[in-house]
Structure 1
């Protein structure tokens, strides 16, 4: 059965506070137009991996893995999974030249946007940001999306400014991952409250 618009909106705007690996950067209007053109044409964001991708290409082990597959399929599968995990870790902790590394950051998260706190920020309403967000401190997979700063609350918490942002755009599968994470986190908080 198809999900009603009201139910979908309710799911998108359920919120939770969390501490997650997070980074952001300001995106110029011109760059954002290019991103949106690519997104509208292909349904995905353009690859921005930069120099790290070139390094990853030189370290590619797909050829030797194919040979190993014939000799020892189990070992080849294990090595392949390790290769994928290492590639993800490299991208996570060594982002492209214009990306910041992911740092545990307090965020208020929903399927429709997020708020985060930053000291000494120069952000203003209307600016476009690119976000990278991992959904736990242990995971290597991250959600990458864009958002618009809707409101800046100066000196909101411990002298830090709070930036309230609306996702603009986010891939549907990433929005769904965020919503599922929010529901899991809320369930954890309810269990902790009942047991404590």
Structure 2
């Protein structure tokens, strides 16, 4: 009985410590073709502004999120799905509550100092909350003379590392 209880607890903690593996029916590592055929929205290839030949992005404006059409960008590295960015309603309170219900307490977030600065200087700020080992992030940004932008971001746990390795390799090839 004791072994069964320990096994159940280990299974629970193993499952609860797993990072997000995608969004809905698309998984990190899926090919461009698989993501496009998922019918998540009507993706169209976007111009490559990253300067990295290994990276491509597809966007759409007809993605449904919380009952509304939203802009979405899917990022691929070497034809593998790595990140999904969803433009969400700037009134983030309901979304933030839902994320905390689903993923628990944030792993990281803007500091109290950054929050205070955002309240004092409401013309320019950038705030974030990360969940599930940083694989789910909510970012809110405000720039002078531009409206508030809120983004819900799902990313492969290795996205930043993989991107950094590509940039470093490209630099190493040039120096």
Confirm or deny a common fold (TM above 0.5).
Answer: no
TM-score of the aligned structures, taking structure 2 as reference length: 0.32
Which one has a larger percent strand, Structure 1 or Structure 2? 2
Greater relative contact order, per chain length (Cα 8 Å cut-off, separation 6+): 1
Which one has a larger percent helix, Structure 1 or Structure 2? 1
TM-score of the aligned structures, taking structure 1 as reference length: 0.29
Of structures 1 and 2, the larger Rg is shown by 1
